Structure 1
Amino acid sequence: MTGIRTFWRALPREGRWLLSTVVVQTFGRGMTLPFTIIYLHEVRGFDLGLSGALMSLIAITGLLVTGPGGTLIDRYGARRVLLIGLLSMIAGCTLLAFATHPAVAAVAVMLIGVNFGVSWPGFNALIASVVDGEVRQQYFGVNFALVNLGIGVGGIIGGFFVDVHDPGTFTTIFLIDAATSLIPMALLLGPLRHVRTQADADAPADDGGGSYRAILRQPAVRWLTLLTFLAVFIGYGQLEAGFPAFARQVSGVSTQVVGIAFAVNTAVIVLLQFTVLRLIAGRRRTRVMQVMALIWAVSWVILGLTGLLPASLAAAIGVIAYMGVFAFGETMLQPTVPAIYNDLASDRTRGRYNAVNSAAFQGGAITGPLVAGVMLGEGLTIWFVSAMVAGSVAVGVIAIVLERVLSPVANGVIDTPAPLVDPR
């Protein structure tokens, strides 16, 4: 508790406002995220393939708008771009709540995708403008834990509330999702209305060094972007596709076990995130990524072994253990990667750097499920697990290469003898 109080006291007022509302902001998304495809297929009667395509439109739209969104953030500020994204989210969720035709649903999910595309770089740029140094790394970690808490609580309540035989229950959760977007809008229009993420108007003009081509020309950015893509491909890209498919088809566990595994994932992140932040404070971020890669490799080995004892208690325990171990690795990824991107960026380029981060994340989130579907659909279970383990090892190798081209400051090496926030 001392560490939490110390961290909270180190935050400026704007940072406290942002952090104190995260759980409520993400609660609505948690209510709808696990049940959107069920809503489209079982409630609205769309073909399962069409429902899956509609779901992919969210990520595809987000990926398409991320690049332009980053440029607009640097030119006009994150606050304005985020307000447009939140309005799009409210419109999309409201429209989806009443969508009875695929064309209407397609418009709705694309509106939601617009918000997804600008919210990641926008909020990361906003956070980086409010906090810096070691506090910034801790902020990203605590924010990640609170996001998981909000989504987890929302998912649990949504699971008890929705009923496929009562479309009104699904209409309600999508309207709640829309309503929760009003909270960050109120912050941006109120307490955070003076926060600037763009450079001052009298600052030197951009000489081209802030273009996406110039940013990606930097070796540190290229290796970091590759690491991000691969980490998401073998990590988050599998959580909603590869993992549940493997757990059901190969491990032979029940849907209840899969649900418990996701609950364990959330619990581990919420309970351990601050402890992990204390342990990694002042350490090289690339070394933390190497440890994370090793942990994820172990988690995939655990999941693979469950296939040797399908439909057994050991398989169920292994599936749950996989998610717990994987979550432990997550607590190391989320504080480090966004912090590196923002330490590499300037005020004039912060939106574009975060857009590169977002694009790499979304690219992994799109391709991960596609590869998992093909491999598991063809019965290549051993090759699938082997690919995930090899990918984890590759992340560790890339982190070693990244360390050689990354500046000490961006790598989290603190010049002062003590950290900005005493984590103990």
Structure 2
Amino acid sequence: MTFRKPTLSWLPQLNSQVWILAAGRFLSGIGTGFTLFYAPIFFVNQVGLSATQVGIGLGSASISGVIGRILGGSFADSKFWGRRRTLLLSAAVSAVASLVLAMSNNFHIFVVGNLLMGMGIGLYWPATEAVVADLTQGEQRNEAYAITRLADNLGMGIGIVLGGVLIGATGAYRELFVLDAISFVVFFGVVYVAIAETYKPGEREQQAFSSWATALRDRSLLIFCLVNIIFTTYISQTQSTMPLYFSNFLRVEASGKGFSPTTISALFTWHLVLAILLQMPVVKIFKRLSHPYALCISALFWGLGFSLIWFTGVAASSQLVWAILAMGVFAIALVSYTPSASSLITVLAPESQRGVYFSINSLCWAIGYFIGPTVGGWALDQPPVVAHGLWLGFALSVAITIGILQYLNQILNAKNAEGNAK
């Protein structure tokens, strides 16, 4: 009698290190979820900082995050650091940052903790994206990026739920930051034990400055950066502007007020759960499409979602139904964007410069997350007609996004034709 080893044929056939990295990211995501929504509440209501001070402290992470992303890209492409050591450094800095935040009892320590956290996150993204690119090829990459993003989102969702349960049962906010630090230590251990160095320097390794200069002269990359900033501006709206819009600018027929905090929380939970469920099916559908074409489809979903948000604001009834539809459409838009965008970077980047290219990609997120809340906050401070019109403006902007992607697709096709001719 023979026994067959059971297999999960529906799962992508990926390098084992990709699965190990995804497991580490899942555990780290749980720690991030512990503190994501609860840090502002804790530092305002229990530590006694003002909302302005908390905003400044959280914003300071973006400043150090830019520095971290630049260093992370350069380190990931260096012989000494490479991808693995950069990930280890990122986990160590992030663990220290969480402990500093756990001990924070005044504004200055709070800022130091956020500066360290921004640095750790900045170091992390170029290196982890480059590892996935190194370990995969072709159509595999979309599935690999989908798996790691799924691990991030699933971990974060579980962390948010567990954090809420812990706070509800004990009120122990500081312990959440300690748990976050432990998650980074676990991630450090996973990388140290199970992840091998994947960086393979070319025959003529470029110095950091030269590598950045070469990347910034890549027209295809610069065009992608423009469209990537637009996409990340879209994404930031769902996390920064939309909750306040739902609360303050809707007039639900039963109460004449906006959605309650419980309803808003349920809407975003629905969005996250649907994104988790759809991540792999959407990637399987999109994996045979060119990356610019897949991003065009994502842009159409963003446009539809923003149109539904506009209709939610101006509709006389059934606002909750329209909001549920909108958040569902945004889930599809998000899961069709992230793997395609990361895979496109691997197409654009020379193998020895993937760290720098992913660093530039990550900087686009930092810029988008600066532009999005700024524009959204300004619009919500204006008369309601402007606040409602914001979403219609974003929906119309999708035409520009698709136009840029079509231009990028033409450039990439011309490059491929030129390469085939040679």
TM over 0.5: yes
2:184 and 2:194 map into 1 onto residues whose CA distance is 16
Match of 2:51 in 1: 48
Structure 1 residue 117 and structure 2 residue 122: aligned? yes
1:210/1:348 contact within 8 Å kept: no
User: What whole-Å deviation, never above 9, does each CA across 1:53-86 have from its counterpart, x for those lacking one?
Assistant: 1111112211122112211211120111121111
* 1:197 partner letter: Y
Partner of 2:173: 170
- Distance in 1 (CA, whole Å) between partners of 2:282 and 2:364 is 24
| Equivalent in the alignment of 1:346 | 350
1:6 Cα deviation from its structure 2 partner: 5.2
Return closer, same or farther for 1:186/1:267 CA change in 2, 3 Å cut-off: same
Aligned match of 2:147 in 96, 121, 142?
142
1:422 match: none
Q: Distance in 2 between matches of 1:133 and 1:3?
A: 23
Instruction: Show CA shifts across 1:259-302 (max 9, x none).
Output: 11111111111111111111112211111111111111111111
Q: Distance between the aligned counterparts of 1:46 and 1:22, measured in 2?
A: 31
- Give the Cα–Cα distance (whole angstroms) in 2 for the partners of residues 186 and 258 of structure 1: 37
What residue is the counterpart of 2:401 in the other structure? 395
Match of 1:197 in 2: 199
AA matched with 2:16: R
Partner of 1:273 in structure 2?
Answer: 279
Give the aligned partner of residue 212 of structure 2. Answer: 212
Partner amino acid, structure 1, of 2:329: V
Q: Distance in 2 between matches of 1:85 and 1:92?
A: 10
The Cα of 1:119 is off from its aligned counterpart by 0.8
Give the equivalent residue in structure 1 for 2:253: none
Give per-residue Cα distances to partners, 1:318-357, cap 9 Å, x unaligned: 2222111101111110111111112222232111000000
**Alignment correspondent of 2:241:** 242
The whole-number CA distance in structure 2 between the counterparts of 1:122 and 1:142 is: 17
After TM superposition, give the deviation of residue 208 of structure 1 in Å: 8.7
Deviations 1:15-58 (Å, cap 9, x if unpaired)?
A: 22112333222111011111111122112110111111111111
* Partner residue in 2 for 1:32: 35
TM-score, structure 2 length as denominator? 0.90
Structure with larger RCO (C-alpha < 8 A, sep 6+): 1
Maintained 8 Å contact 1:70/1:121: yes
Equivalences for residues 218-367 of structure 1 within 5 A: 218-235=218-235, 237-251=236-250, 252-309=258-315, 314-367=318-371
Q: Distance in 2 between matches of 1:348 and 1:120?
A: 17
2 CA distance for matches of 1:319 and 1:382? 14
2:137 paired with 1:132: yes
Gapped regions of structure 1 (runs ≥ 5): 411-424
Alignment pair present for 1:65 and 2:68: yes
Change (3 A) 1:80 1:207: closer
Q: 1:383 and 2:389 equivalent?
A: yes
Over residues 84-131 of structure 1, what are the superposed CA-to-partner deviations in whole Å (9 max), with x where a residue is unaligned? 111111111111012001100110011100111111101001111112
Q: Is the 8 A contact 2:310 2:389 kept in 1?
A: no
Q: Is the 8 A contact 1:30 1:152 kept in 2?
A: yes
Could you say what secondary structure the match of 2:297 adopts?
A: helix
Q: 1:274 to 1:165 in 2, by over 3 A?
A: closer
Structure 1 residues 175 and 408, CA, compared in 2 at 3 Å: closer, same or farther? farther
- Confirm whether residue 159 of structure 1 aligns to residue 164 of structure 2: yes
Q: What residue in structure 2 maps to residue 98 of structure 1?
A: 103
Partner of 2:186: 183
How many pairs does the alignment contain? 401
Check the 8 A contact 1:343/1:409 in 2, yes or no: no
1:407–1:31 CA distance, 2 compared to 1 (3 A): farther
SS of the residue 2:92 aligns to: helix
